[in-house]
Amino acid sequence: MFEGFEEAQVEVGEASVFVRFSGQGPPVVLLHGHPRTSATWHRVAPRLVKAGHTVVCPDLRGYGRSRGPQFTADHAGYSKRAVAEDVVAVMRHLGHRRFALAGHDRGGSVALRLTLDHPDAVSRVAFLDCLPLTEHLSRITAEFATQWWHWFFFAQPGTPERVITADPDSWYHGDPDAMGRENYDEWRRATRNPDVVRAMLEDYRAGLTIDRQHEESDQDAGTRIACPTLILWSLQDDLEDLYGDPIAIWRRWATDVRGQGINSGHHVAEQAPEALSSTLTDFLQSDPISSEQRSAAEHHHRS
């Protein structure tokens, strides 16, 4: 896994971030989702390096081998704003002040916060199988509550920790053949660590409280993503079934938006690495969309 990549443990104030990195050329940061680690990118990151990019894959604060501060009642230490600050600090440590981002699942929430809080640091951003947290919460239906009930279970104090750590293998259902054995082994070590489990729950608790408040403040202020934005969603997952066209939702948040579905389940980096790598490479090396191209794309999309 990650042949030719370096590894480092970067101290960034109240957090310690494990990171993998390699390559020459324009930098791109890959942010994993729940309950994965940076190892989820092991089939994608080398392809992006081969395409001419410097690729940086951190474990999010509290996930994998990264560690955060003590837990607090307001969950601020595990907010997307705090995790975004970690990523900026790691990239500066590695010598990069401006970079591209791709975030999957919870990593997409971090990518959104980073892009809104640090617009000068982000050259372009890709969101993989995710929406802003407030867009999910404003569309709660019986179907959403049935399929995404774990969001609200994770928010309960104490109980989810006891349930998950009692038998983490049964709870998380990893598949070494689908994930790749080394990725699976790293993920399994992490999910069997009670500190990691608690930190992952804090991620979700922050999502329903302080992260929601931050997104609502952005909406009230009219803050939008100005850089080129790519939206990808998994055709074998439920995002489009629940909400319709993800691009239409993301246009509420970003100006230069393009995107498509990918024939994959939710963990697209593991299940469709060739298609994802190719699509990300095309986006990272493409020109921004002009206003004329945007109008034509929107007309075609409505048609």
Residues with catalytic roles = 105, 266
Residue with tokens 């239409």: 248
- With beta carbons less than 8 A apart as the criterion, state whether 213 and 89 touch: no
Tell how far CA 299 is from the center of its chain.
Answer: 29
Dist. CA 263–CA 271, nearest whole Å: 9
- Beta partners for 15? 12
- With beta carbons less than 8 A apart as the criterion, state whether 99 and 122 touch: yes
Q: Please state whether the peptide bond connecting residue 35 to the residue before it is cis, i.e. omega within 30 degrees of 0.
A: yes
Q: Which helix (H) or strand (E) holds 246?
A: helix 246-250
What string of H, E and C letters represents the secondary structure of 45-73?
HHHHHHCCCEEEEECCCCCCCCECCCCCC
